[in-house]
Amino acid sequence: MHELSITQSLVDAVLERTGERTVTGVNLRIGPLSGVLPDAMRFCFDIVSAGTSLAGAQLKIDEPQGLARCRSCGTEFELADLILLCPCGSADVEVLSGRELMVMSVEVA
């Protein structure tokens, strides 16, 4: 489960920026094509943040839909997973969104 190491890196990065201030919330954006499971991040966050100034902070995760454009027919369509195939049958698609894995904001007391 690589989400544990990603969550540890997230907590370390937030602690570097916030120091000893109490963190009340962390807002993330995780796309369905990022390879990261939001539920696993939520589970790991409570474990990794225990004993730090992030303990008890609320982890809020925005989960945008994946979006792609077919280079063959020009259609834009949603992507729920890494099967990059246009409804027209073409595999020549450009991923427009869904790979996000970013910290949007941190809330401190």
Residue 109 CA to residue 24 CA, distance in Å, equals 6
Beta strands in 31-100 (DSSP E): 58-62, 66-70, 76-79, 93-97
Nearest to 24 by CA among 62, 55, 63, 51: 55
Token pair 């990261």 is at which residue?
36
User: Residues forming the annotated binding site?
Assistant: 2, 70, 73, 86, 88
Residue 8 CA to residue 46 CA, distance in Å, equals 11
3-state secondary structure at position 35: coil
Domains of the chain: 3-65+98-108 (3.30.2320.50)
Q: Which two tokens stand for residue 68?
A: 């792609």
pLDDT at 56: 94
pLDDT by residue (tens digit) across 79-104? Answer: 988 888 999 999 999 999 999 999 99
Is 1's pLDDT higher than 80?
no
User: Residues forming the annotated binding site for Ni(2+)?
Assistant: 2
Whether residue 48 contacts residue 5, with contact meaning beta carbons closer than 8 Å, is answered with no
pLDDT by residue (tens digit) across 26-76? Answer: 999 999 999 999 999 999 999 999 999 999 999 999 999 999 999 999 999
pLDDT at 3: 92
Nearest to 107 by CA among 39, 21, 40, 46: 21
Element (DSSP H or E) covering residue 95:
strand 93-97
User: Residues forming the annotated binding site for Zn(2+)?
Assistant: 70, 73, 86, 88
Question: Whole-prediction pTM value?
Answer: 0.84
